[in-house]
């Protein structure tokens, strides 16, 4: 409790000391406001006060064959908007361009080693002179002015998570690039939105604020002022335990589940967590997948969740409700499971922007890889915000399984507006590196135990500023593309996914069990 209080005082003091108002000037969105939002779990549970559209630019060239339900026969890296000359006569490839106010929220680069001489330039508000000029690897690996945890090398993936706002426009270019893999995610706001454009000198003056925010992302403070044990029981096979949570208008902001069992791998997959808020069941997920451990007990520590070798798993998802909530633990396995559950609460004022927390889960075992199908993460109908997922992949093949990109359709789009470059790229690493890593917003807590890629991999991702709002629907699929797909012999993989999102009361999400297979037109 003391840590959280001190962090809040530090943040406020820094804002005053640097004359950087959290809300910006007269309603303008400012850099400090974005940092505060980035580290505030509660902000995810409310619809954005100033609406934006989540957009993405990537290196993958796409055509009509990439519509949902179709597989990609040819994967080509090298997509860009256009080629142009800068004021020095040098040729630059335009990777991303947004004509309007917005915020860059996530930049990922792969193949940095092959682009050591690549220069990245960022132009703001129509200026002919770039405000940011940096080497690709230095920028993405945290060796330039943006430092970890906001920029870092994660298993050969270069990741930049620092919010970079712009008031009128933004353009990102690359000079001397060759086969550069990239994904750039940004918020695009309405034309009347006032945003303070990123300024390097202003950023330097806010260095203490940046450092304090980064520290809170790596080691989040937890205020356990209202922490209560709600379940402590040994569950027989095919039995359950439940608890009614504190009544009234409030929110769960810390949930801990401890599992003890003879076979932890089986217990974490067969023991289900269920939550209903105001009579609506919104969480139905195995406890291992829910907390980001995936298959088996895999240690994890990120901005939201913690998994310890002792079997204690915690999360800081803020889960508001208006009147009542109920938690249920089901033992669906063949062995007894000892379960202990504790919950912390915080006050919550329910308003027309408040949303319920959801978690869906699905698994496809012995999923055929030919023709390359789309594995469904989730289908959501209604209004809400998508905030993350945990993917578990098990394969008997030693060949690489993760060439398939994500395909995200928002509000009934016929073509995915967010189309990535590969599965591991979506989770922030590159080239299928079998390296454990943990970061505030993305981690690989388990790598294959067999030769090369044979065995089980767990990837997980939490979204903060890069969350995806949707007003009518969100469909997220992942293309199954393994290196076995290049042959004629049918192979199989197991895919399991847990998704996390917020939605208004009428929003409903489900997982499609059968992958869609359609012929290439």
Structural domain contains residue 59: no
Structural domain contains residue 429: yes
Cβ contact 150:162 at 8 Å: yes
Higher pLDDT pick, 216 / 6 = 216
Tokens of 324: 């009542």
User: Mean pLDDT, to the nearest integer, of 66-73?
Assistant: 45
pLDDT of residue 7: 41
Distance in angstroms between the alpha carbons of the first and the last residue of the chain:
59
**Rounded Cα–Cα distance for residues 521 and 517 (Å):** 12
pLDDT of residue 69: 42
- Where a domain ends, among 322, 347, 372? 347
3 state SS of 421: coil
310-351 residue pLDDT tens: 999 999 999 999 999 999 999 999 999 999 999 999 999 999
pLDDT of residue 224: 93
pLDDT of residue 8: 42
- Where a domain ends, among 347, 379, 395? 347
**Rounded Cα–Cα distance for residues 294 and 287 (Å):** 9
pLDDT of residue 514: 67
**Long-range contact pairs involving 201-210 (C-beta distance under 8 Å, separation at least 24):** 202/20, 202/31, 203/31, 203/145, 204/145, 205/18, 205/20, 206/14, 206/18, 206/20, 206/31, 206/32, 208/14, 208/18, 209/11, 209/14, 209/15, 209/18, 209/20, 209/32, 209/35, 210/35, 210/150, 210/162
pLDDT of residue 90: 86
Q: Are residues 12 and 157 in the same domain?
A: yes
Q: Are residues 181 and 203 in the same domain?
A: yes
Handedness of CA 260, 262, 268, 274 (dihedral sign): negative
Q: Are residues 117 and 136 in the same domain?
A: yes
pLDDT of residue 516: 52
For helices 207-218 and 31-38, angle between their N-to-C axes, nearest 10 degrees: 10
Alpha helices in 181-292 (DSSP H): 200-205, 207-218, 264-270, 287-290
Q: Are residues 133 and 260 in the same domain?
A: no
Q: Count structural domains, the chain.
A: 3
User: Mean pLDDT, to the nearest integer, of 118-138?
Assistant: 96
Q: Are residues 450 and 484 in the same domain?
A: yes
Alpha-carbon distances of 299 from 71, 189, 434, 444, 447, rounded to whole Å:
35, 38, 16, 10, 12
Q: Are residues 177 and 318 in the same domain?
A: no
**Rounded Cα–Cα distance for residues 237 and 375 (Å):** 31
Write the CB contacts of 127 (distance below 8 Å, at least 6 apart in sequence). none
Is residue 4 scored above 80 in pLDDT? no
Q: Are residues 163 and 94 in the same domain?
A: yes
236-246 residue pLDDT tens: 999 999 999 99
**Rounded Cα–Cα distance for residues 29 and 33 (Å):** 7
143-179 residue pLDDT tens: 999 999 999 999 999 999 999 999 999 999 999 988 8
Q: Are residues 235 and 211 in the same domain?
A: no
Structural domain contains residue 267: yes
User: Mean pLDDT, to the nearest integer, of 379-385?
Assistant: 98
pLDDT of residue 337: 98
349 preceded by a cis bond (ω within 30 of 0): no
Structural domain contains residue 339: yes
Q: Are residues 382 and 487 in the same domain?
A: yes
Of 29-33, 127-131, 487-491, where does mean pLDDT reach its minimum?
A: 487-491
Do you know the residue count of the chain? 521
Higher pLDDT pick, 381 / 76 = 381
Structural domain contains residue 62: no
Structural domain contains residue 68: no
Q: Residue 223 — pLDDT band, cuts 50, 70, 90? A: confident
Q: Are residues 320 and 371 in the same domain?
A: no
Q: What percent of the chain is modeled with pLDDT above 90?
A: 78
Q: Residue 135 — pLDDT band, cuts 50, 70, 90? A: very high
Is residue 14 scored above 80 in pLDDT? no
**Rounded Cα–Cα distance for residues 138 and 130 (Å):** 17
Is residue 519 scored above 70 in pLDDT? no
Mean pLDDT of the chain: 90
Cα 93 to chain center, whole Å?
28
Q: Residue 18 — pLDDT band, cuts 50, 70, 90? A: very low
Of 12-16, 202-206, 325-329, where does mean pLDDT reach its minimum?
A: 12-16
Cβ contact 100:169 at 8 Å: yes
Q: How many CB atoms lie within 10 A of CB 12?
A: 12
Q: What percent of the chain is modeled with pLDDT above 70?
A: 90
pLDDT of residue 515: 61
Cβ contact 302:441 at 8 Å: yes
SS3 percent helix, strand, coil of the chain, rounded to 5, is: 15, 45, 40
Beta bridge partners of 62: none
- Where a domain ends, among 168, 188, 218? 218
Q: Which residues of 56-68 are buried (b: 16+ CB within 10 A; e: fewer)?
A: bbbbbebeeebbb
Q: Residue 492 — pLDDT band, cuts 50, 70, 90? A: confident
Is residue 372 scored above 80 in pLDDT? no
Tokens of 352: 């027309």
The enclosing domain of 144 has a CATH number of 2.60.120
Is residue 217 scored above 70 in pLDDT? yes
Q: Are residues 504 and 435 in the same domain?
A: yes
The DSSP secondary structure of 372-415, one letter per residue, reads -PEEEEEEEESSEEEEEEEEEEEES-SS--B-PPEEEEETT-SS
Structural domain contains residue 488: yes
371 preceded by a cis bond (ω within 30 of 0): yes
Domain extent, residue 253, equals 227-347
Beta bridge partners of 380: 474, 509
Structural domain contains residue 459: yes
Higher pLDDT pick, 65 / 114 = 114
The enclosing domain of 419 has a CATH number of 2.60.120.1390
Q: Are residues 100 and 137 in the same domain?
A: yes
pLDDT of residue 88: 81
pLDDT of residue 70: 46
């Amino acid at each position: 409790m003391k840590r959280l209080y001190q962090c809040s005082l530090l943040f406020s003091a820094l804002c005053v000391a640097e004359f950087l108002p959290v809300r910006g000037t007269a309603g303008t969105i400012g850099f400090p406001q974005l940092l505060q939002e980035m580290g505030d779990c509660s902000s995810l549970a409310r619809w954005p006060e100033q609406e934006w559209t989540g957009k993405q630019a990537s290196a993958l060239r796409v055509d009509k064959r990439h519509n949902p339900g179709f597989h990609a026969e040819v994967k080509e890296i090298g997509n860009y908007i256009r080629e142009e000359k800068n004021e020095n006569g040098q040729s630059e490839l335009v990777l991303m361009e947004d004509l309007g106010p917005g915020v860059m929220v996530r930049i990922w680069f792969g193949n940095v080693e092959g682009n050591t001489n690549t220069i990245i330039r960022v132009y703001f508000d129509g200026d002919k002179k770039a405000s940011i000029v940096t080497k690709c690897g230095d920028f993405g690996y945290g060796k330039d002015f943006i430092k970890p945890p906001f920029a870092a090398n994660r298993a050969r993936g270069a990741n930049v998570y620092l919010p970079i706002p712009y008031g009128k426009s933004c353009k990102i270019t690359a000079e001397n690039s060759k086969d550069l893999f990239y994904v750039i995610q940004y918020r695009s706001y309405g034309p009347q939105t006032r945003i303070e454009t990123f300024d390097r000198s202003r950023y330097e003056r806010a260095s203490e604020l940046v450092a304090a925010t980064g520290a809170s992302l790596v080691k989040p403070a937890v205020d356990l002022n209202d922490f209560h044990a709600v379940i402590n029981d040994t569950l027989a096979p095919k039995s359950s335990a439940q608890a009614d949570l504190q009544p009234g208008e409030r929110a769960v902001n810390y949930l801990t589940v401890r599992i003890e069992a003879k076979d932890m791998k089986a217990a974490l997959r067969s023991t289900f967590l269920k939550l209903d808020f105001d009579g609506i069941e919104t969480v139905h997920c195995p406890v291992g997948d829910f907390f980001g451990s995936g298959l088996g007990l895999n240690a994890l520590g990120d901005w939201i969740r913690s998994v310890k070798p002792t079997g204690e798993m915690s999360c800081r998802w803020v889960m508001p409700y208006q009147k009542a909530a109920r938690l249920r633990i089901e033992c669906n396995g063949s062995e007894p499971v000892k379960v202990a559950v504790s919950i912390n609460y915080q006050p919550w004022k329910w308003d027309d922007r408040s949303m319920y927390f959801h978690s869906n889960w699905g698994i496809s075992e012995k999923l055929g890889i030919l023709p390359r199908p789309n594995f469904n993460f989730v289908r959501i109908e209604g209004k809400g915000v998508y905030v993350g997922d945990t993917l578990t992949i098990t394969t008997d093949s030693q060949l690489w399984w993760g060439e398939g990109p994500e395909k995200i359709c928002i509000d009934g789009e016929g073509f995915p507006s967010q189309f990535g470059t590969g599965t591991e790229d979506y989770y922030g690493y590159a080239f299928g590196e079998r390296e454990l890593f943990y970061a505030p917003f993305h981690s690989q807590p388990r790598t294959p135990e067999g030769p090369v890629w044979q065995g089980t991999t767990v990837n997980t991702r939490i979204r903060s500023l890069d969350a995806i709002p949707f007003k009518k629907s969100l469909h997220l699929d992942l293309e199954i593309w393994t290196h076995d797909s290049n042959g004629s012999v049918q192979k199989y993989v197991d895919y399991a996914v847990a998704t996390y999102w917020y939605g208004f009361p009428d929003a409903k999400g489900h997982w499609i069990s059968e992958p869609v297979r359609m012929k290439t037109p």
